[in-house]
């Protein structure tokens, strides 16, 4: 069974701080996706990484796929209250997505 | 610009009752999925339909059945609801199996 472990599960920080969320697995994935989910809504795709070592930037968010394609990280620079939400990583290998358990981020003004 | 639409949004069931969650997408996607989301467990795949006319089990299919009614619609049925099925259910679709997945807004189900 493929598993994706996210850490930390909860993160509460002040506006302006930096943070990193990790997504780790013992399995190799052909691609890895990061989603953001707000209360009462479905997850929304932020980015897909497919190449080992790949780095993608989305404004203040930086996503990295590990060289071995088993892990990924999400780094947020100068977090803002609008970044508050549940962040989910999901790996794909056979076409099916396997989700991590999520990281709940709270950014206080 | 509806995307993926699920109904109902909220439902309370008694143990043993049956119900069907409806899902429709207007993006002409080939693949559709049903997930459940529970605290601390992320999203788990219940069933999926890679293309019209096919359905397959996901990680947690027990207690559920699905029907791919046509290309647009994919329903999830609970034949005899149990408290363990209390969850938030998400329908999703993608252009093809393994492509970017788009989620509906979720259906909150409570089984008492």
Whether residue B49 is predicted with pLDDT greater than 90 in this model: the reply is yes
Quote the pLDDT of residue A51: 92
Q: Considering only CB atoms, which residues of chain B are within 8 Å of chain A? A: 4, 35, 40-45, 48, 50, 58, 90, 92, 97-98, 100-106
* Nearest residue of A to residue B48, measured between CA atoms: A96
Q: Are B48 and B31 in contact (CB under 8 A)?
A: yes
pLDDT of residue A1: 59
**Whether A100 contacts chain B with CB within 8 A:** yes
Q: Per the CB < 8 Å rule, is A41 touching B42?
A: no
Residue A37: predicted pLDDT: 94
Backbone angles phi, psi at B68, to 5 degrees: -95, 95
Q: Which of A9, A88, A96 sits opposite B48 (nearest CB)?
A: A96
Report, as ranges of residue numbers, the positions in chain A whose pLDDT lies below 70.
1-2
Determine which helix (DSSP H) or strand (DSSP E) holds A92, and give its type and residue range: strand A85-92
Q: Do B45 and A33 touch (CB under 8 A)?
A: no
CB B68 within 8 A of CB B55: yes
Q: How confident is the model at residue B39 (pLDDT cuts 50, 70, 90)?
A: confident
Q: Is the pLDDT of residue B42 over 90?
A: no
Output the CA torsion sign for B78, B38, A80, A44: negative
For residue A95, the chain B residues in CB contact (below 8 A) are: 50, 97-98
């Amino acid at each position: 069974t493929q598993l994706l472990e996210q850490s930390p599960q909860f993160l509460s920080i002040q506006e302006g701080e930096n943070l990193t969320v990790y997504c780790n697995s013992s399995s190799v994935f052909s691609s890895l996706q990061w989603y953001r989910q707000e209360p009462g809504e479905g997850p929304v795709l932020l980015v897909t990484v497919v190449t080992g070592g790949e780095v993608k930037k989305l404004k203040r968010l930086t996503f990295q796929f590990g060289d071995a394609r088993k892990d990924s990280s999400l780094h947020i620079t100068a977090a803002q209250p609008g970044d508050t939400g549940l962040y989910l990583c999901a790996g794909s290998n056979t076409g099916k997505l396997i989700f991590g358990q999520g990281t709940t981020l709270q950014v206080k003004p | 610009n509806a995307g993926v639409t699920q109904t109902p949004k909220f439902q309370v069931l008694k143990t043993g009752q049956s119900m069907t969650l409806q899902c429709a997408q207007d993006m002409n996607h080939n693949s559709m999925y049903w997930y459940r989301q529970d605290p601390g467990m992320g999203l788990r795949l219940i069933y999926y339909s890679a293309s019209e006319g096919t359905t397959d089990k996901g990680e947690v299919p027990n207690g559920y059945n699905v029907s791919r009614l046509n290309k647009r619609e994919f329903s999830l049925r609970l034949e005899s609801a149990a408290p363990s099925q209390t969850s938030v259910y998400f329908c999703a679709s993608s252009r093809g199996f393994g492509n970017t997945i788009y989620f509906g807004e979720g259906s909150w189900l409570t089984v008492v």
